[in-house]
Amino acid sequence: MGFALSIFCVNENAMARSVVGSESSAAEEEKADEKKGQQADDAKTKAADEAAAKKQKEQEEKEKKEEEARLKAEQAAKEAALKKEAEAAKKKQEAKMQERRKQREKRDGILAQVKTRRNYVREFNGHKALVMVTPGGAEKNNVIEVTFQVHKMGEDSNSLAQAKVLKKLGKATATVGQQKRRRGSAETYKLHRISRAGTYGFHYTPTMAGTFRVDIKIDMKDGQELTFDIPLYVGIWPPPDFPQEEEAYQNATQGQSRNRRIMSLD
């Protein structure tokens, strides 16, 4: 009986060990499964993170390329605008220079005509005098002819074309003197009628270059006195008053067809 008890104890211990071993194996398997599950989760998380990182990188690269393209487009547009502005400025400058060349050519053409004869217009007491100096480019020791017509202006017109030329004037004299010389050096000339009725004048030969002044005085038969003056430039070209005097002449002769020269300074 004692032997039987001993065998029973041995079997019981063996069974106990078997149970413990089974439990340990199950625990290990469970731990292994948990580990595998954790590894799988970690792998999924890593893959998800990598995918997210890749997507983020791709998005950043896309945005970078878009930004570069935008900046490039802006730069191209800016350069195109600057080029357009530069071309417009160049064309404007070229047009301006061309206009200046035209004006110079026009001015030179007018000066060439003016050198042959200068025209002055003087207004006084309801009258206008059209004064002509030939040649316009006067030189010392050369004869200068100064002629003029006196026009009686109408009430409604300021143009010589509609004015009446006074064919007969009273006593008329011209005093010529150099502007910067002392008093007493002036010469007085009696004016005589030129070939055309209503045209008076005189001849003068300057002996030196400089700026002279011609004062003309007319004693009209009705007792009225008419006076006016013009400058006379000898050896001075172009004359300093050229633009103003030519413009005044042009304005006064608008509508006058006979002997009219087109000399607009615009």
pLDDT in tens, 199-217: 999 999 999 999 999 999 9
CB 208 within 8 Å of CB 178: yes
What the block records as the tokens of 176 is 């010529």
Predicted pLDDT of residue 182: 55
**Which of 104-108, 119-123, 202-206, 254-258 shows the lowest mean pLDDT across its residues?**
254-258
CB 93 within 8 Å of CB 100: no
pLDDT in tens, 48-80: 999 999 999 999 999 999 999 999 999 999 999
Where would I find the beta strands (DSSP E) of the chain?
118-124, 127-134, 144-152, 164-165, 171-178, 187-190, 192-193, 199-204, 210-219, 225-234
- Residues 121-142: what's their mean pLDDT? 93
pLDDT in tens, 234-252: 999 999 999 999 999 988 8
Predicted pLDDT of residue 125: 82
CB 205 within 8 Å of CB 142: yes
Highest mean pLDDT among 110-124, 161-175, 186-200: 110-124
pLDDT band at residue 173 using 50, 70 and 90 as cut-offs: very high
Tell me the pLDDT of the chain averaged across its residues.
85
Left, alpha or beta for 38 (phi > 0: left; psi -120 to 50: alpha)? alpha
Report which residue type is found at 95.
A
Residue 165 clears pLDDT 50, i.e. is over it = yes
**Domains within the chain, CATH numbers bracketed:** 117-252 (2.60.40.1930)
